[in-house]
A and B are shown apart, each in its own frame.
Chain A
């Protein structure tokens, strides 16, 4: 029997965790044991897990800081919503339309990734962080003044409401600061689950491939990597665009889970929130990102149910600080190492 590679084993465990969690939640749903509030968190939690895993590809595995992941999510959300409305008659089957919309969202995200990545990834240092930060703001501000609609004459796009002359009976898709209103909700938990599996497959296979090793070599020592003939820009772009495309797909799923979505949702705070999930889950650790995103997204809503309404934001912040302190505490790590002998005490990648 062929011995299974340690990295692939790690990957299989991640699939296992996700599938087991899905099975448990489906069983609870079937028994009617899940509260309304938890049910409403399932789809957004899936979106944030995909966001965290994809950002981990840029931050943890490529080693470049991105502060505009919300911008790619925004691109995906609004292009996905637009696609779902435009294709309403062409594809009547809801799951198929959702899949196409998510693919469109992924394409939009990838396009944004290429536009930002091509000039900036040639540079060295912290430029990517600054440019992605600006990119997120630019996307937000553009969508805030963007009016998109469709009527029998075709698609209308305008930068102000005065120039936006939609024929009566036409559908407005994006209405400036109101964002997209009147979206048919297509997103389902199953779709979110499948998107997580696809994300895991893409990211884990990329990391364990020849390209992935090149990407990690760039992170660890750029000069050494260049000296053995690794094309810096190509591999950086590969990781960055993959990450942006996955964020776009997550954005499309997120946008199609609510009847209205505004551009202000995908601001700097959202980008930082996802970065917090990645950092607290452990840079480079896919499993950590999944668990951190799921727990930290659900936590503030769970605190509502415990009668801690007035303090939930405070408690959330304290939990973040405690996790940060705990994961960096040597004594705690040593203690964990004694309980679980195989654990070496350091965060392992994969």
Chain B
């Protein structure tokens, strides 16, 4: 791959353009690393690639070998591993159960169910599981 750098200290907005035949996992990984400062996750939506702001993401869940990324209005898909995302995403994202990451700032409330399990209800009314061990983690993040 030919790579060109255009360096200009006076540049107002930094950006990168990729000219590719198709998106591969390797490219997804590289863009994720570049995104760490930009707070955007690149995802698929109807076969198109779109940037999704971290601050809009409510829940990420493993579905098959992809990650389902939910925002209040939309569902996107991301080709990454959940373990990768846990490392990459900022601190407001916590693992709530196996294969599930939630943005704890977008939690509406928690509910103790009759069967002893605990549900997290997100601000879009979606229910997500949380295991008891992760409750401790959540308490720490909330500063309790």
Question: Is this pair of chains taken from one and the same complex?
Answer: no
